[in-house]
Amino acid sequence: MIRLSGFGDEISPDIDEQMKVLSSEKISHIELRGVGGKNILDLSNAELEDVELKMMDQNFEVSAIGSPIGKIRIDEDFDAHLERLKRAIELAKFFDTPYIRVFSYYPPEGGDIKKHRGEVIRRMEAMARLAEENDVVICHENEARIYGEGPKECLDILKTVPSGNLRAVFDAGNFVFAGVRPYDDCWPPLKEYVEYFHIKDAKMKERTIVPAGEGDGQIKSVLRDAVKHGFDGFLSLEPHLAQAEQFKGFSGPDLFVKAIRALKEILDSIGADYDAK
């Protein structure tokens, strides 16, 4: 069965409000990225325990740690960044989720990230080994300006670092902004590696973000084929309908509910079995 989740900090910084809105749409999973205006990796242990208790009280579970790992320049200190990944792993274990969202690095100032492929691969290999040692799965998200922005480079990472602990997050909206068609150009080469979806749609010409099904993300076609081939993982809403920034987006309660219902309409139209009907 498909399970729905979402970036709660797109609803509100307040974890209670995040869960209230998701619960109103029968969603009981959350992708943790920000709480109280802080990135999840920067919360103290006491703050994390408070989040956990509130989630337990509302019968919520964590679908993934929405970490910013890999969202630094390729010439920045990797050893220090690897320590951040270790913290993300601690959080994944604390919240009992196998998944941590990661990225594949920005270029140096004024540079071209494709000229740094070797270092990207070295870093992704080190991250995958750490994931293997700790029995977690790092899921690489395609993202603007990083090495894995388009399907060719995403596939390069996944084939060159052949690890069951390194998988793909498929974000249709981000592929649209990269100038490629998600179902036609990205899904065929990547689908065997996709472990997790971020649900965001966009219009290519206007470069605007819209609810699922209203843009050029070909989300219905992608999900129909995923369901046909047995996908039963998470679809995590990251709609960015009010604001899109480098390290976070925002939609607010009303627009987030609109995004949820747009996704449910797609799932109903393709006859998908999901947990938030």
Contact criterion met (CB below 8 Å) for 118 and 86: no
Whether the predicted pLDDT of 244 surpasses 60 = no
Helix (H, G, I), strand (E, B) or coil at 174: helix
What was the pLDDT predicted at 248? 62
What was the pLDDT predicted at 241? 86
When pLDDT is cut at 50, 70 and 90, the band that residue 243 belongs to is: low
Q: Which of 3-12, 50-59, 117-126, 237-246 is least confident?
A: 237-246
- Interval 264-277: pLDDT, tens: 999 999 999 999 98
- Residue 164 covered by a domain: yes
The pLDDT of 167-193, averaged and rounded, is: 98
Whether the predicted pLDDT of 249 surpasses 70 = no
Q: How far apart are CA 3 and CA 97, in angstroms?
A: 14
Helices marked H in the chain: 15-24, 45-57, 78-94, 117-134, 151-160, 172-177, 187-190, 219-228, 252-269
> Please, what's the largest Cα pairwise distance for the chain?
49
The CB density around residue 269, as the number of other CB atoms within 10 Å, is 12
Question: 159 — alpha (psi -120 to 50), left (phi > 0) or beta?
Answer: alpha
Q: How far apart are CA 108 and CA 83, in angstroms?
A: 21
Among candidates 43, 28, 141, which has minimal Cα distance to 88? 43
- Residue 62 covered by a domain: yes
Chain-wide mean pLDDT for the chain? 96
Q: How far apart are CA 232 and CA 169, in angstroms?
A: 14
Whether the predicted pLDDT of 190 surpasses 60 = yes
- Interval 119-178: pLDDT, tens: 999 999 999 999 999 999 999 999 999 999 999 999 999 999 999 999 999 999 999 999
Q: How far apart are CA 191 and CA 260, in angstroms?
A: 23
pLDDT over 90 percentage in the chain: 95
Contact criterion met (CB below 8 Å) for 70 and 103: yes
The pLDDT of 17-37, averaged and rounded, is: 97
For helices 117-134 and 78-94, the axis angle rounded to 10 degrees is 30
Q: Which domain holds residue 203?
A: 3-269
Predicted TM-score (pTM) of the model is 0.96
What was the pLDDT predicted at 277? 86
When pLDDT is cut at 50, 70 and 90, the band that residue 111 belongs to is: very high
Tokens read off for 146: 């990083």
Whether the predicted pLDDT of 83 surpasses 70 = yes
pLDDT over 70 percentage in the chain: 97
Displacement of CA 223 from its chain's centroid (Å): 16
What is the length of the chain? 277
Q: State how many domains the chain has.
A: 1
CATH of the domain at 262: 3.20.20.150
- Interval 210-229: pLDDT, tens: 999 999 999 999 999 999 99
The pairing of strands 38-39 and 34-35 is antiparallel
Displacement of CA 244 from its chain's centroid (Å): 14
Contacts of 104 (CB under 8 A, 6+ apart): 70, 120, 123, 124, 140, 143, 146, 147, 148, 153, 157
- Residue 274 covered by a domain: no
- Residue 72 covered by a domain: yes
- Residue 276 covered by a domain: no
Q: How far apart are CA 197 and CA 81, in angstroms?
A: 25
